[in-house]
């Protein structure tokens, strides 16, 4: 069961531009895990899977926006432990309700995005971004081609990163559903660049949240995580093989519908 859950996580991360990791928590809850366990294990699995994807797809090319990505990732890594800590203080009912609300928002965004810009659904995290042309402007570029760290742009990245990290730690999600639109809103970049850059940001933010989970809860058995990570890597490999053939708006809508259904089932199991 855990291997299958990891496979689903890896597939969704590979076949959608954002929001794949949000499937992890409700699926883990169905195995009998508590909410803190599910969020912590989810962060570990997402961190390992996205790290594998970053290295495996050779994302050292020009499509990755390292400077804005590092700023956003470091800001998120600071607040992810805060989210984990707050999850202990807030009653489980409220955290679960907040998570499901967030998941429904993600599902709606995926559905609306597939309707409005179906061409963007072809850009997935398993794609090869090395041959993607780079736009002339990314927030602002100087004459030497380096990223210009102007106060307004940096502050936007910092604020966005702080919010992404906090939600990642609190709910156990990777944050790609926020990272991709944030990068698109703050800079004149392509969808391909936003998706490719989100990979290493998610890996760093999720790693920070997972490490804080280890310190706070001190779990004595992480064998379940290994099974999920193995399934996640396998799912990502499969996603790399089939993504360019099947990634489209219909698939994105299907994932959105599945996410909504899973949230309804999760709430029904908890409250009924």
pLDDT band, residue 246 (cuts 50/70/90)? low
What's residue 243's pLDDT? 62
Helices (H), 57-118: 66-89, 92-116
**Distance between CA atoms of residues 253 and 82, nearest Å:** 33
Residue 122 has pLDDT above 60, yes or no: no
- Average pLDDT across the chain, whole number: 77
Residue 19 has pLDDT above 60, yes or no: no
Q: Which domain holds residue 14?
A: 2-271
Contact 189, 65 (CB under 8 A): yes
Looking at residues 123-128, what average pLDDT do you find?
48
What's residue 78's pLDDT? 94
State pLDDT tens for residues 61-76.
546 777 888 899 999 9
State pLDDT tens for residues 199-220.
888 889 989 999 999 998 888 7
Assign 14 to helix, strand or coil.
helix
Contact 71, 161 (CB under 8 A): yes
What's residue 238's pLDDT? 78
What's residue 126's pLDDT? 45
State pLDDT tens for residues 168-185.
888 887 777 778 778 777
Give how many domains the chain has, as a whole number: 1
Residue of 134 and 32 predicted with greater confidence: 32
Residue with tokens 């790609």: 176
């Amino acid at each position: 069961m855990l291997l299958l859950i990891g496979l689903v996580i890896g597939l969704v991360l590979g076949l959608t531009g954002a929001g794949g990791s949000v499937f992890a928590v409700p699926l883990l809850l169905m195995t009998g895990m508590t909410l803190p366990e599910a969020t912590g294990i989810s962060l570990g699995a997402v961190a390992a899977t996205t790290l594998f994807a970053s290295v495996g797809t050779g994302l050292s090319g020009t499509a990755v926006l390292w400077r804005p990505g590092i700023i956003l990732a470091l800001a998120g890594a600071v607040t992810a432990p805060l989210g984990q800590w707050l999850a202990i203080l807030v009653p489980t009912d409220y955290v679960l309700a907040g998570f499901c609300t967030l998941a429904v928002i993600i599902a709606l965004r995926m559905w609306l995005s597939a309707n409005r810009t179906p061409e963007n659904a072809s850009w997935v995290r398993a794609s090869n971004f090395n041959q993607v042309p780079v736009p002339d402007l990314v927030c602002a570029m100087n004459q030497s081609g380096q990223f210009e760290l102007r106060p307004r742009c940096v502050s936007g990245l910092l604020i966005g990163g702080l919010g992404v990290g906090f939600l990642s730690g609190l709910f156990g999600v990777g944050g790609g559903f926020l990272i991709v639109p944030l990068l698109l809103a703050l800079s004149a970049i392509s969808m391909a660049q936003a998706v490719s850059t989100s990979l290493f940001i998610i890996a760093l933010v999720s790693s920070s949240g997972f490490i804080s989970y280890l310190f706070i809860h001190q779990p004595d058995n992480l064998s379940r995580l290994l099974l999920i990570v193995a399934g996640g890597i396998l799912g990502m490999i499969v996603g790399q093989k089939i993504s360019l053939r099947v990634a489209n708006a219909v698939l994105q809508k299907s994932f959105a519908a599945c996410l909504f259904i899973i949230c309804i089932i999760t709430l029904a199991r908890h409250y009924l």
